[in-house]
Structure 1
Amino acid sequence: MTTPTSSSSHPVTKALVTGHTRGIGAALAEQFLARGIAVLGVSRSRHATLAERFPELLDEAELDLADLARVEQWLAGDALRHFARDAQRLVLINNAGTVQPIGPCEVQDAREIARAVSLNVATPLMFASAFAAVSAGLEDRRIVHVSSGAARNAYAGWSIYCATKAALDHHARSVALDRSPALRICSVAPGVVDTGMQAEIRGMGIDRFPLRGKFDDLKRSGLLATPGQSASKLIGYVLSDSFGQTPTADVRDLPQA
């Protein structure tokens, strides 16, 4: 892999992005790469288009991020340490997640609950810990949890999603209190974005998700942000000097990049 040229004002930056093949994750990976920032994308599949466009900057790992045994095994290997080599600024974006199961408590499937907690909570926390260990000694290391407004407001039908995203917010608050050297962290809500997750929501019955009509209206009115728009604001914030000053943030409250 080719590493971008370093200078004192532009440190060599590398970014690990989970769930980099779809939605916001794909937009984040593409925009990092377009800036000349090397990306390690970790997902269940590879992103053929980005691999063709950025063969020297994109590295990929195929991994089911809901399979905790496999995640533990991968993190214990050398891939992350090898990727971090020669970086001066290292970024982790815990983006992968699921909105399922949707519905009241009594209809939620136990296996779906376990998968959601694994993917939305356990894996990001495992990645954060491994990232912090690998990046120890760097003068600039940054962790981003892609959170949600659902972490801060309860919604009927979203008890698992709300709980798992709230866990990321509280993890960021606690890690910030650790004051680990040169480690910044923020759990960032990306706004209401037109992704496959939104399509899932609009496909649910009102009995499972009473607020579906609100999201239908947002789609019809063209009020959903594109993945590219949210990614641009998020990257601008992540690479700014103000990143990590607060442990939680909302992309809609951030200044334009």
Structure 2
Amino acid sequence: MKTKAIVTGHSRGLGEAIAAALLDKQVDVLGLSRRASTHLAPSDGAKLTQVALDLGDVGALTDRSLSDRIEAFCAGADRVILVNNAGMVKPIGPVGTGGAADIAKAVTLNVTGPLVLADLFQAVAAPVKDRRLLHISSGAGRRGMAGWSVYCATKAALDNHARAIKEDAVPGLRVASLAPGVIDTDMQADIRGSSVEQFPAIDQFKAMKADGVLASPTEAGAKIAAYLLSDAFGAETLTDLRTL
């Protein structure tokens, strides 16, 4: 069975780890990110294609060339996967401090991008019998946290998008929105770089780093890749990596 996967935000952190684990499993990967990964490499039996794309740019998302590229990549596959991983935690701070430009940028990257790509993916990959869509969500999308009103709202949007797609009951399309837990990535550095006034729970996150309890991107990526390829994928629409 030939499997191909599209991974956004593949150039670093969790996205890079997911892409690496899929390549190790002989899955062709199309990486979409503003910059190329300097660590990823094709493996025996798997191809890596990297495309420079600003997923926070509405013009880039709506350009016909993106649809054409995804359609061409999916051709010849028995199973295709889309991993909407790219995202940002900023702006951090109480309501009234985010700023219009930064809020719009976060919503475009965290919500508009994944929804547009999901729609393109289903539209052009419909001939492939086994299609799998994964949103990388967050526990923050399932509860409110002071200082994270924008981040919480955008991740909640992905969760409900997955729920609605499940209700669509499109033949051949499986969907899941997964909270990966707290992983040692650049996003965590952004969080620790905020102030207590911006993010009252900052000491908790600093302590997790100091105590060495943050999950490894490599381990999390491998577990997510295994889940993507398993028969269990999509059995639960909202899930958490720590319970898989």
For the superposition of Structure 1 and Structure 2, which TM-score range results when normalised by the shorter chain?
Answer: over 0.9
Distance 1:76 1:21, change over 3 A: closer
- Residue in 1 that maps onto 2:154: 164
Distance 1:16 1:33, change over 3 A: same
Indicate whether 1:219 and 2:202 are aligned: no
Distance 1:184 1:52, change over 3 A: closer
Task: Tell me the CA shift for residue 51 of structure 1.
Answer: 4.1
Indicate which of 123, 129, 140 corresponds to 2:119. 129
Indicate which of 184, 203, 211 corresponds to 2:193. 203
Q: State the distance in 2 between where 1:228 and 1:91 align.
A: 19
Normalised by the length of structure 1, the TM-score is 0.92
Task: Tell me the CA shift for residue 107 of structure 1.
Answer: 0.9
- Residue in 2 that maps onto 1:30: 20
CA contact (8 A) 1:75 1:130 kept: no
- Residue in 2 that maps onto 1:243: 233
- Residue in 2 that maps onto 1:142: 132
The gaps in structure 1 that reach 5 residues or longer are: 1-10
- Residue in 2 that maps onto 1:228: 218
The gaps in structure 2 that reach 5 residues or longer are: none
Task: Tell me the CA shift for residue 73 of structure 1.
Answer: 0.4
Q: How does 1:1-257 map to 2 (within 5 A)?
A: 11-51=1-41, 57-73=47-63, 76-254=66-244
Alignment-mate amino acid for residue 104 of structure 1: P
Secondary structure at the aligned position of 1:174 is classed as helix
Task: Tell me the CA shift for residue 141 of structure 1.
Answer: 0.3
CA contact (8 A) 2:82 2:121 kept: yes
Aligned-residue CA RMSD (Å): 1.5
CA contact (8 A) 1:91 1:143 kept: yes
CA contact (8 A) 2:23 2:42 kept: no
Task: Tell me the CA shift for residue 70 of structure 1.
Answer: 1.0
Q: State the distance in 2 between where 1:145 and 1:229 align.
A: 18
Alignment-mate amino acid for residue 196 of structure 1: D
Task: Tell me the CA shift for residue 12 of structure 1.
Answer: 0.7
Alignment-mate amino acid for residue 59 of structure 1: T
Query: Relative CO higher for 1 or 2, CA cutoff 8 Å, sep ≥ 6?
Result: 2
Q: State the distance in 1 between where 2:69 and 2:48 align.
A: 13
Distance 1:103 1:75, change over 3 A: farther
Q: Quote the sequence identity (%).
A: 47
Greater than 3 Å deviation, 4+ residue runs: 51-56, 74-77
1:7-33 residue CA offsets vs partner (Å, 9 max, x unmatched): xxxx21000000000100000111111
Alignment-mate amino acid for residue 112 of structure 1: D
